[in-house]
Structure 1
Amino acid sequence: MTPASTDLPAPLKALVGRADDALARVLPGEQLPPAELHRAMRYAVLGGGKRLRPLFVYAAGHALGCDGPILDAPACAVEIIHAYSLVHDDLPAMDDDALRRGRPTCHIVFGEAMAILAGDALQALAFDILASAPGDDDPRQRIAMLRALGAACGAEGMAGGQAFDLAAVGRKLSLDELERMHAYKTGALIRASVRLGALAAGCRDDAMLDRLDRYAHAVGLAFQVRDDILDVEGESAVIGKTAGKDAAADKPTFPSILGLDASRERLTALVDEALDAVGPLGERGEWLAELARYSARRGH
């Protein structure tokens, strides 16, 4: 169980273990050729992490009455996409980080070329898992899931967010520009995680999907605001990555634009937005509500 899971209620703690077990099953074995590539892939995915994106899949499915193994494939797919994005973001050509989840980053251990290949292979694997997993026999539902994941990865998702991030170094951004950047870079995969959980549960209600998307948009921004606050206040040994790196690189952050106190107020407002969106789900939506609260209080 990852350290982050100790801050979660018991049902969600159990789902962290479920996600870890599912990921270990779907990743290629370390001894299968090309072994070095497979070791790099497993290192990138299985070396800890909060498993928040799989938890959003499970929580959204639960909110709509589904808790079965049908949720495991989308849970694995979003976490593998997340891992691939971290491998590439940590490269010297991007964020140039040597520490991730309290360990040396993938390119430090395996070299830059193998880290690039591991990221490429992980992205492909995520779509293969989602396309081939058992589930709804309606091909439109499967296509909708693949499109949701694809959109989260592309120019209007993580890749676009990283492009905004690279262009923003040394610039003064407005709050709207900063929120757009993070809605792409961090929020897009969180929104996809929630949507995939709902689609896997068989949801075809556009109004419900819109409500869940509003929730996920707010939580995605809340997660980033908290990340930026931790970059100012946290310690590298606790947060598992290099503290203060954004300020040192002259990157725009919520505290650099708003200040710490206003960033905390923005964080509270975003959590309130998320809770309001899932309030009508009642008790079934409590896992989603708890994840929104956790995003704001987490220590790493």
Structure 2
Amino acid sequence: MATSPTALITGITGQDGSYLAELLLEKGYEVVGLHRRSSTVTFERITHLMDRITLVPADLLDEASMIRVLRDFEPAEVYNLAAQSFVQTSFIQPVLTGEVTALGVTRILDAILLTNPGIRFYQASSSEMFGKVVEVPQTERTPFHPRSPYGVAKTYGHWITVNYRESYGLHASSGILFNHESPRRGLEFVTRKVAFSAAAIKLGLQQEVRLGNLEAQRDWGYAPDYVRAMWLMLQQDGPDDYVISTGETHSVRELCEVAFGHLGLDWERHVVVDEQFFRPAEVDLLIGDPKKARTVLGWEPAVGFEDLVRMMVDADLASLSAGS
């Protein structure tokens, strides 16, 4: 009788980690999740999975802990989703962002090389690597010009993955994921901030929401669609890099229109533009071309922008109503 494959997820407590864990469990995997030791418990996204997964303390700052986990659990696949992933924070903590989001990738790749080079590895790359774009839409061949410490760190993580793939023959793939959201997104991200605020204003719990550049545009998709693409990459015979996106772009202004309009609210009465939320260096028009993922992986996004925003608003409205 064949045994179930084991998959290791770094960053399992995050949005993508929780959805990926659900997907892998559905497919019959044994799931091991790494979590960083903290005085604050941050397991709310995976509480419903706690009796079905194995959680292990480890840290991308500590290669020895990565080696230990790989030897103990012998995973067939490793998904590296852990990062300091909030762009605005990367300007305030650029060194920490580099240590985790950039060098952390090297540590886990090196741990794989030392323990079992046959492990299949997924690296969560980012559309923020394109930054000051040289072409629209962006493909796997578009040059990178990151505009934040986060984007710079992700670019390092991407290229070190390519380097280990080419130097040591690792099955190491990168997903260049454009923005992807869900009701599990952190409140610091603009999509969730807008959805939550629209719901709170509808219930009379707050009066306004302060935002930065309303004209900033992003290619926004649904997180569960994107974790499905991650899994598909590691099922291919050979490793490669893939842009994962919807191929559509929307502004923060449109985000507000859809979120507030869904609840019958006039967004212009409640949204205040605050310069403290502007980035020191804004990225240009980020819109991905997912043709390669569609052709090679057979991947298609299932949830569109407006449905995604409404889903997030409804989830926050339900949560706030239950708590009031």
The two structures share one fold, judged by TM-score above 0.5: no
Larger Rg: 2
| Larger helix fraction of residues | 1
TM range (shorter): 0.3 to 0.5
| Larger strand fraction of residues | 2
Identify the structure with bigger relative contact order (alpha carbons < 8 Å, sequence gap 6+). 1
- Give the TM-score of the pair, scaled to structure 2: 0.31
